[in-house]
Chain A
Amino acid sequence: MSYYFTILSPTDVPLFNIAFGTSKSGGDGIARFRFPDTAQYMNQFIIHSSLDIVEEAQWMNGNMYLKHIDTYPPASAYISAFLTPSGARFLLLHQPPQLASNSGQGAGGSGSMGGSMSGSLLLGSAGGSSRASASSIANNPTSPQTEEAVRQFMTEVYENYVKTVMSPFYRQGMEIKSPVFRGRVTAAGRKWL
Chain B
Amino acid sequence: MAQPARHAAMLSISNSGPNLPVAAAAADRQQPAQHIHTQSQSSQGLRVPSNRKTIYDRHLNRSRNAELSRASFAFLFAEMVTYAQRRVTGIQDLERRLNEQGYPLGLRLLDLLFYRTMSSSTSSALSSSSSTSSSPPNRPLRILPLLHLIHGPLWRLLFNRPADALEHSVSPETPNEYMITDNDPLVNTYISVPKEMSMLNCAAFVAGIIEGVCDGCGFEAKVTAHNQPTEMWPGRTIFLLRFGESVMEREKVLERAGVK
Contacts and interface: CB of A to CB of B under 8 A. Distances in A.
Given A59-B254, A172-B104, A184-B56, A86 B110 contact: yes
A143 to B, nearest CB: 21
Contacts of A20: 2
A175 B35 CA distance: 11
Contacts of B139: 58, 62-64, 83, 85
- Which size bracket describes the interface of B in this complex? 35 or more
B43 interface: yes
Contacts of A120: none
Interface stretch (B26-34, B84-92, B195-203): B26-34
B138 A180 contact: no
A164 B107 CA distance: 13
A166 B111 CA distance: 9
Contacts of A29: 1-2
Given A163-B58, A180-B54, A86 B216 contact: yes
B71 interface: no
A162 B114 CA distance: 10
Given A16-B36, A30-B26, A183-B3, A59 B111 contact: no
Given A86-B217, A179-B46, A41 B32 contact: yes
Contacts of B54: 178, 180
A44 B139 CA distance: 27
A78 interface: no
Interface in B80-116: 104, 107-108, 110-115
A182 B112 contact: no
Contacts of B108: 86, 165-166
A177 B41 CA distance: 9
A62 B40 CA distance: 34
Nearest to A177: B40
A166 B55 contact: yes
A116 interface: no
A40 B138 contact: no
Contacts of A182: 3, 40
B40 A160 contact: no
Interface residues of A, number: 52
Nearest to A59: B141
A84 interface: yes
Contacts of B119: 159
B246 interface: no
B246 to A, nearest CB: 12
B3 A30 contact: no
Nearest to B48: A180
Contacts of A17: 33, 36
B191 interface: no
B250 A163 contact: no
A74 to B, nearest CB: 19
Interface of B: 1-3, 22, 25-26, 28-33, 36, 39-40, 43-44, 46, 54-56, 58, 60, 104, 107-108, 110-115, 118-119, 136, 138-141, 216-218, 250, 254, 257, 259
Given A30-B26, A59-B250, A163-B60, 17 more contacts: A10-B218, A40-B32, A41-B31, A59-B141, A62-B141, A63-B139, A85-B217, A86-B217, A87-B216, A158-B115, A166-B108, A166-B111, A167-B55, A177-B40, A178-B43, A182-B40, A186-B3
24 contacts: A30-B26, A31-B26, A37-B25, A41-B32, A59-B259, A60-B259, A62-B140, A64-B139, A84-B111, A85-B110, A85-B114, A85-B216, A86-B107, A86-B217, A87-B217, A162-B111, A165-B107, A166-B60, A177-B39, A177-B40, A178-B43, A178-B54, A179-B46, A182-B40
